[in-house]
A and B are shown apart, each in its own frame.
Chain A
């Protein structure tokens, strides 16, 4: 309810700030969509604004970035993972891992693959660090 009162007018008292033309381009990129009536276009734009507000405030509220008065990528990615409503974003907001960890993961996968093959050839691989 407070969202409705506070956000009804949008930024700078405009009804909607996101450009309808751009929203339309994105919508039309879906092959199965034939046409979009003007009201539907407006509602989608407005809903997207509400979504941006919701994603930002939810992530800030539940994240650790606010310890430093900031909204961070990690806050967002955390939201995508933890909150069911935002789970459709999980693929595009993956958790960040250190490059060294990622390389080790690749190494491990590679080793696991080789163990299943013939052992006769076996060259032992050693971990470089650790």
Chain B
């Protein structure tokens, strides 16, 4: 399946913002420079993916995992990224865990409320809850 060219590009506004925040205030970034950095970023993703995939294959796995990406960074001579990436990953995992628990709490709350209602209404709520759980699964599993 062919991707349209723009699908492999990253959003200009976000790229520009990242560049601006990295450079001293007031530095002008030419449109050409911005476009070049955006292309470079896409190439970086491809290179990193390919490299990470090699590590996954070495480990006889079909799914790229966090370790593969970190190994790729070292391989690509971006060791300087490894420490900040590990820190960010911890925060990200805590966030994801928090979200998951928030969903479970919400479900528990719905449960206890259900017990007060009549059986007919209980059935409807059960259906709703099942839909939510299916959504949760989709979010976590990659296709």
B78 interface neighbour in A11, A85, A89, Cβ under 8 Å = A85
- For chain A, the count of residues having a C-beta within 8 Å of the partner chain is 61
**Is A105's CB within 8 Å of the partner chain B?**
no
B77 surroundings in chain A (CB, below 8 A): 84-85
Question: In the assembly, what is the distance between CA of A91 and CA of B98, in Å?
Answer: 43
Query: How many B residues touch the partner, as a band?
Result: 35 or more
- A71 and B27: CB pair below 8 A? yes
B64 interface neighbour in A7, A11, A33, Cβ under 8 Å = A33
- A39 and B84: CB pair below 8 A? no
A46 surroundings in chain B (CB, below 8 A): 85, 88-89
Interface of A is mostly: helix
A-contacting 9-mer, from B28-36, B109-117, B120-128: B28-36
A8 surroundings in chain B (CB, below 8 A): 84, 87-88, 91
- A52 and B37: CB pair below 8 A? yes
Report the minimal beta-carbon distance from A9 to chain B, rounded to whole angstroms: 9
- B8 and A29: CB pair below 8 A? yes
Question: In the assembly, what is the distance between CA of A88 and CA of B50, in Å?
Answer: 13
**Is A106's CB within 8 Å of the partner chain B?**
no
B10 surroundings in chain A (CB, below 8 A): 18-19, 22-23, 26, 48
- B95 and A30: CB pair below 8 A? no
Instruction: Write the B66-102 contact mask toward A (1 if CB under 8 angstroms, else 0).
Output: 1011100100111011011101110111011000000
Chain B interfacial positions (CB closer than 8 Å to A): 3, 7-8, 10-11, 14-15, 17-19, 21-23, 26-30, 32-33, 36-37, 39-50, 52-53, 62-66, 68-70, 73, 76-78, 80-81, 83-85, 87-89, 91-93, 95-96, 140, 142-143
Can you report 22 A-B residue pairs in the complex whose CB atoms are below 8 A from each other?
Answer: A11-B17, A18-B11, A23-B45, A26-B8, A26-B42, A29-B46, A30-B46, A35-B63, A36-B64, A36-B142, A40-B66, A42-B92, A43-B85, A52-B18, A56-B23, A56-B29, A57-B22, A60-B23, A66-B27, A85-B76, A89-B43, A93-B36
Chain A interfacial positions (CB closer than 8 Å to B): 1, 3-4, 7-8, 11, 15-19, 22-23, 25-27, 29-30, 32-44, 46-57, 60, 65-66, 68-73, 75-77, 84-85, 88-89, 92-93
